[in-house]
Amino acid sequence: MIKEVLQKLWKDKFARAALIVLALIYLALFFADFIAPYTKDFSDRTMAYVPPSKVFTIDETGKLSKPYTYNYVREFDPVNLEIKYSLDRTQKHYIKFFSKGQPYKFLGLIPMKRHLFTTDQAGRIYLLGTDINGRDVFSRLLFGGRISMTIGFLALFVLFPIGLLYGGISGYFGGKVDALMMRFAEAVMSIPSFYLLIILASILPSGMTSTQRFLLIVIILALIGWAGFARVVRGMVLSIKSQEYVQAARSIGASRMRIITKHILPQTTSFVIVAMTLSIPSYILSESGLSFLGLGIQQPDASWGNMLKEAQEFTNILYRPWLLTPGFLIFVSVLAFNVIGDTIRDVLDPKSRER
Amino acid sequence: MEALKYIIKRIIQTIPLLIVVSLISFFIIRLSPVDPLAELKLNPSISPVTVEKERQRLGLDKPIIVQYGKWAYSFVRGDLGITSNGERVSQKLKERIPNTLLLTSIVILLTWLVGVPLGIIAAVNWKTPFDRILTVLTSIGMAIPSFFFAVLLLLFAVKTGWFPIGGLTSPNFADMSFGGKFLDIAYHLVLPVFVLFTISLAGLQRQMRGNMLDVLDSDYVKFARAKGLSEFSVVYKHALRNALNPMITLLGFEFAGLLSGAALTEYVFQYPGLGRLILEAVLKSDINLVMASLMMGAVMLILGNLIADILLIITDPRIRVKS
């Protein structure tokens, strides 16, 4: 069935474009260490809020040249009381491809030094400018994307087993168990999810490592979403459990847990796949919203949400528009996931197939 | 009469729901390692007597079940305690809740006025270029992060100077005439409403389109067509009524989504609503305020669902029969 869905996705031109976009994004994130010219924590304090580097391919004599860039120098304008950046045209810094730069560990394992592109030791290449700490926005976009684009999947892997089992037990047992479990799920759903999200995030103790914090945020995101999912699963289980093969399994003497997990829940697979692709975007959005408020992923770690935190200041959005790039990336990836989700729903929905 | 019975039953059902919600919120907040009185103790303008009174009221020296009981008792009596600034929580909520309700009800009204017709048109013109374009537009609307969109609109407001930069009222609000006040609030509401409207419109239009397509495919619509009814009366008399019923159920969910979306939008636009209140409370770890606004959020959501259910009883006779 999955193969059929993939084929149909590929045939639809919007879905194909979305698949390609997502594949490119994830590929770039996978090779982030290599593509990024700087490491996640590299900062040059003298280079705060530097605009994107200009890359030249034609030199001053009008001839084609190897691509090069100039560094920015910071000057204080005492008349207008503002900091200005101008190009230091005295020295060219050639861009070198596949050459040695800052050392890093590829995927955290293999020590490497080569980057897709770097400049010489004194030069700086900031494709998308720098932030308040003089860190390269382009590099941080790649590293931040690793967090933003995986946190949703991880939350789903925590949430789905919980929701499936909860909905399965509730639907199969029925009666008082069902009533009690569903009232509880309804109560969880009655708390506005974003309120619950910020409260859970705010009670996290402060002295955690970034990995611990990341995992706890995954769990919090999962805690928000399981109830609605469990309710739908319960509804499906209610209709499946009266089927003959379930009665057959019961008459052989299979235990109730076995019937739920081995016979009933597998029937909900197609629903689960659709629900998963449809809900990934909302987790990406939740994480970015949380980090935007400063309650999610914390500095010095990057995520698209916490990079956008700087966009809360007017001066930044007015004079440093490159700080808004994470927002566009969130938009593009959520859009791509939505398009794929819609197409999958159309493919799996028997009604829409008839039309 | 039957309907009334059902409505009363439905109202009674919300009471255990509220109790469970309050239990969940209470224990989540008590899980936090923060001392609920820490902020009060640090505030020099609050006397130790007041702090002691709060400790008594919350029963912090007693076991947690007793604490919950005390909290619930004073909550029911309308005593929500004081914020870390020493203001009354109930006063603070009274200021903020109407603002959030104003924002969300305008957004819901607008999305229904625009979203439902757009959904119908898209379904009737299914798979035409018009429908395609709408689908693309709604996909875009659904994918924009609300806070990012809000930031972009703020940028627009700053650059053009056409709209106020956040808040709900101008500094000279108190001196304005009634009409002036009304216009001033409307002027400040434009941008926040626009953000939430764009985001919730997309979902509503899609839902309406889907419902309408389902209904147009059903046997009784085919029968109505076969009978030779005009297309207008098939769509607007027979199909529309049935396609609208699921939308009313959705009203409750829409309200829930709006409360959450509004929190971020309120934050960016510095709008004095419940969402921003709870955020400020969370950042200052002001326990009384967090607890009360969380409960209020839940109450508003439950009431929203209740209203949707009651509306559904009025519009859909089948439910009355079933109950």
Distance from the Cα of residue A20 to its chain's centroid: 16
> Do B139 and A338 make contact, defined as CB atoms within 8 angstroms?
yes
Task: Give the pTM.
Answer: 0.85
Whether residue B272 is predicted with pLDDT greater than 70 in this model: the reply is yes
Whether residue B323 is predicted with pLDDT greater than 60 in this model: the reply is no
Mind listing the pLDDT tens digit for each residue in B4-25?
Answer: 888 888 888 888 888 888 888 8
Q: Check residues A326 and B181 and name the one with the higher pLDDT.
A: A326
Whole-number Å distance between alpha carbons of A160 and A84: 52
Touching A: B residues 150-169, CB under 8 Å: 151-152, 154-155, 158-159, 165
User: Does the beta carbon of B17 lie under 8 angstroms from any beta carbon of chain A?
Assistant: yes
User: Does the beta carbon of B38 lie under 8 angstroms from any beta carbon of chain A?
Assistant: no
Q: Which amino acid is at A255?
A: S
**Closest to A283 in 3D by CA, of A334, A230, A212:** A334
User: Does the beta carbon of A292 lie under 8 angstroms from any beta carbon of chain B?
Assistant: yes
- Quick one: pLDDT band at residue A355, thresholds 50, 70, 90? very low
Residue in chain A closest to B137 (alpha carbons) equals A335
Per the CB < 8 A criterion, the answer to whether A323 and A137 are in contact is yes
Of A194, A202, A327, Cβ closest to residue B260: A194
On the 0-12 / 13-18 / 19+ scale of CB atoms within 10 A, A22 is: middle
* Least confident stretch, A3-17, A113-127, A294-308: A113-127
Whether residue A32 is predicted with pLDDT greater than 80 in this model: the reply is yes
Of A187, A205, A334, Cβ closest to residue B143: A334
Percent of chain A with pLDDT over 70: 98
Q: What is the pLDDT of residue A350?
A: 57
Q: What is the pLDDT of residue A275?
A: 79
Q: Check residues A95 and A254 and name the one with the higher pLDDT.
A: A254
Q: What is the pLDDT of residue A23?
A: 93
> What number is the average pLDDT over the span A302-323?
82
Q: How many helices (H) and strands (E) does chain A have?
A: 14, 5
Q: ipTM value, please give it.
A: 0.82
Dihedral sign of CA atoms B154, B160, B166, B168 in order? negative
Q: Which helix (H) or strand (E) holds B198?
A: helix B178-216
> Do B298 and A192 make contact, defined as CB atoms within 8 angstroms?
yes
Q: What is the pLDDT of residue B33?
A: 66
Mind listing the pLDDT tens digit for each residue in B253-268?
Answer: 777 778 777 888 888 8
Q: What is the pLDDT of residue B178?
A: 80
If you write DSSP's letter for every residue of B127-161 in order, what string do you get? TSHHHHHHHHHHHHHHHS-HHHHHHHHHHHHHHH-
Whether residue A59 is predicted with pLDDT greater than 50 in this model: the reply is yes
Mind listing the pLDDT tens digit for each residue in B109-142?
Answer: 999 999 999 999 888 888 888 888 888 888 888 8
Interface test with A, best of B97, B260, B306 (most A CBs within 10 A): B260
What value, to the nearest 5°, has the Cα angle with vertex B319 and ends B315 and B322?
A: 160
User: Does the beta carbon of B261 lie under 8 angstroms from any beta carbon of chain A?
Assistant: yes
Residue in chain A closest to B292 (alpha carbons) equals A195
* Least confident stretch, A105-119, A285-299, B3-17, B298-312: A105-119
- Report the gap between the CA of A249 and the closest CA in chain B (Å): 33
Per the CB < 8 A criterion, the answer to whether A140 and A40 are in contact is yes
Of A199, A294, A332, Cβ closest to residue B28: A199
Q: Which amino acid is at A261?
A: T
Mind listing the pLDDT tens digit for each residue in B28-66?
Answer: 877 766 666 776 777 777 777 877 777 777 767 777 788
> Do B279 and A314 make contact, defined as CB atoms within 8 angstroms?
no
Whole-number Å distance between alpha carbons of A55 and A67: 6
User: Does the beta carbon of B213 lie under 8 angstroms from any beta carbon of chain A?
Assistant: yes
User: Does the beta carbon of A339 lie under 8 angstroms from any beta carbon of chain B?
Assistant: yes
Show the tokens assigned to A167.
């909905």
User: Does the beta carbon of B142 lie under 8 angstroms from any beta carbon of chain A?
Assistant: yes
Q: How many CA atoms lie within 13 A of B150 on its CB side?
A: 29
User: Does the beta carbon of A185 lie under 8 angstroms from any beta carbon of chain B?
Assistant: no
A contacts of B148 (beta carbons < 8 Å): 308, 311, 324, 327, 330-331
Mind listing the pLDDT tens digit for each residue in A114-158?
Answer: 888 877 777 778 888 888 887 888 888 888 898 888 988 898 889
User: Does the beta carbon of B260 lie under 8 angstroms from any beta carbon of chain A?
Assistant: yes
Per the CB < 8 A criterion, the answer to whether B82 and B286 are in contact is no
Per the CB < 8 A criterion, the answer to whether A267 and A240 are in contact is yes
Percent of chain B with pLDDT over 70: 95
**Closest to A279 in 3D by CA, of B272, B61, B287, B142:** B142
Number of C-beta neighbours around residue A216 at 10 A = 15
Per the CB < 8 A criterion, the answer to whether A283 and A221 are in contact is yes
- Quick one: pLDDT band at residue B106, thresholds 50, 70, 90? very high
Whole-number Å distance between alpha carbons of B68 and B250: 33
> What number is the average pLDDT over the span A307-315?
81
Per the CB < 8 A criterion, the answer to whether A330 and A304 are in contact is yes
Whole-number Å distance between alpha carbons of B266 and B153: 13
Whether residue A352 is predicted with pLDDT greater than 80 in this model: the reply is no
**Closest to A284 in 3D by CA, of A244, A241, A341, A235:** A341
Q: What is the average pLDDT score of chain A?
A: 83
- Quick one: pLDDT band at residue A333, thresholds 50, 70, 90? very high
User: Does the beta carbon of B302 lie under 8 angstroms from any beta carbon of chain A?
Assistant: yes
> What number is the average pLDDT over the span A157-166?
90
Q: Check residues A44 and B278 and name the one with the higher pLDDT.
A: B278
Beta bridge partners of B215: none
Looking at residue B36, the DSSP 8-state letter turns out to be: T
Q: What is the average pLDDT score of chain B?
A: 82
Q: Write phi, then psi, for B13 (nearest 5 degrees).
A: -60, -25
Whole-number Å distance between alpha carbons of A266 and A259: 10
- Report the gap between the CA of A202 and the closest CA in chain B (Å): 6
Q: What is the pLDDT of residue A166?
A: 92
CA A19 vs CA A15, A284, A339, B115, B147: distances in Å: 6, 17, 9, 29, 26
Q: What is the pLDDT of residue B320?
A: 65
> Do B151 and A312 make contact, defined as CB atoms within 8 angstroms?
yes
Termini Cα distance of chain B: 12
- Quick one: pLDDT band at residue A353, thresholds 50, 70, 90? very low
- Quick one: pLDDT band at residue B319, thresholds 50, 70, 90? low
Per the CB < 8 A criterion, the answer to whether A220 and A193 are in contact is no
Whether residue B80 is predicted with pLDDT greater than 70 in this model: the reply is yes
**Closest to A193 in 3D by CA, of B282, B227, B297, B216:** B297
Q: Check residues A353 and B218 and name the one with the higher pLDDT.
A: B218
Mind listing the pLDDT tens digit for each residue in B238-249?
Answer: 888 888 888 887
